[in-house]
Amino acid sequence: MVHATGPPVFASFRKQSAMKIPFLLFWAFATLAYGQSRPANEFHLDKEYPVSLGGSLRLRSSDAHVVITGSNRTTARVKVDRVVTTRGLGMSNQVFSVEVIEKDGDLTIQEKASGTHWFVMGSYQEKYTIHIEIPLGMALDIDGDDGSYQIHSIHGAIRLEASDANVALTGCLGNTFSFRLDDGDLTMDGGAGQLSLVGGDGDLRIANARFSSADVRLDDGSLVMETALADNGHYDLDVQDGLLALTILSGGGHIRVRHDDARVVTNGRFETLEQTESHTALKTGVGTADVRIQAGDGRVRLQRS
């Protein structure tokens, strides 16, 4: 007996079609899942807390847009909003909260996050803002990671350490400023007293300052600073490979620049006392300030307003 069979090409076609079905089903499911938004994971806090007018605010946060404002109020208001929206094929078991601790007139705000999230395909979107209103005279102690910080009208001491964050200060009339930034940028309008700043590749711009001392260390970043010089003030500015532009608003003293291949350019009343391949000594104005600049291969521009 002879059995008729189809050509081998039809059998191969049926086998390939059978293999494609699971893949097509997975692709259809993934496409459908990608188009669906999961319910948002939200955290909200809006509350006032008693504080001392001369107390401290400690903040520990990451990837947040932070706004801190000082005013004549007598309490602290903390408003936190965090909304996470995911879309696609994946899984998340993240748990997020913010702990606020009152102690001896101080306030500590600490975020607490645990768990992980992963996605085969899709997107993860986070909107995270922190708005804080405190009395004018409170001090700030901030540790952050990424994000941005806008600080207005805080007259107490300010210490801020963050990596890859953008920081802006306006109207802060305290006498102690301490910053440690990796690759973030800093803009500051005003400031007096002591400045301590360590940075990496960021751009630092300080205007209308009256620092009595400054200690600045940068790797490849740039420093553009306007300040008055105080009698007997000490200013150590170390910018290795970037731009250092110093505008002297008032006061005077001696300026010593150590450099490798750096070029020193002056504009205004500067008297050159000594100049070699590695050292430039200048005098400007009437005063006893001591300014020491380490330039490396960077550029140095000095001027008087």
> pLDDT, tens digit, for every residue of 73-91?
999 999 999 998 877 666 6
- Binned at pLDDT 50, 70 and 90, residue 2 comes out as very low
The tokens 């010593």 sit on which residue? 256
Per-residue pLDDT, 92: 62
Asked if the structure places residue 104 within a domain, the reply is no
The residues, ordered by sequence, that sit 6+ positions from 191 with a Cβ below 8 Å of its Cβ are 169, 172, 174, 177, 206, 208, 209, 210, 211
In whole angstroms, give the CA distance from residue 224 to residue 206.
6
Query: Global pTM?
Result: 0.84
Distances (CA, A) of 164 to 64, 80, 136, 197, 235: 12, 21, 27, 15, 26
What domain range is 285 assigned to? Answer: 58-73+130-304
Per-residue pLDDT, 122: 66
Question: How many folded domains does the chain comprise?
Answer: 1
Asked if the structure places residue 259 within a domain, the reply is yes
Q: Collapsing DSSP states into helix, strand and coil, what is residue 233? A: coil
Asked if the structure places residue 35 within a domain, the reply is no
Asked if the structure places residue 164 within a domain, the reply is yes
In whole angstroms, give the CA distance from residue 258 to residue 45.
52
Asked if the structure places residue 109 within a domain, the reply is no
Asked if the structure places residue 47 within a domain, the reply is no
Query: What is the pairing mode between strands 271-275 and 253-259?
Result: unpaired
Evaluate if residue 276 carries a pLDDT over 60: yes
Query: What is the mean pLDDT of the segment spanning 4-10?
Result: 49
Asked if the structure places residue 121 within a domain, the reply is no
The tokens 């350490």 sit on which residue? 161
Radius of gyration (C-alpha) of the chain in whole angstroms: 29
pLDDT tens-digit readout, 178-227: 999 988 899 999 999 999 999 988 899 999 999 999 999 998 889 999 99
In whole angstroms, give the CA distance from residue 157 to residue 241.
30
Higher pLDDT, residue 205 or 124? 205
In whole angstroms, give the CA distance from residue 261 to residue 218.
17
Asked if the structure places residue 123 within a domain, the reply is no
Report angle CA 290, 216, 70 to the nearest 5 degrees: 110
- Distance of alpha carbon 206 from the chain centroid: 15
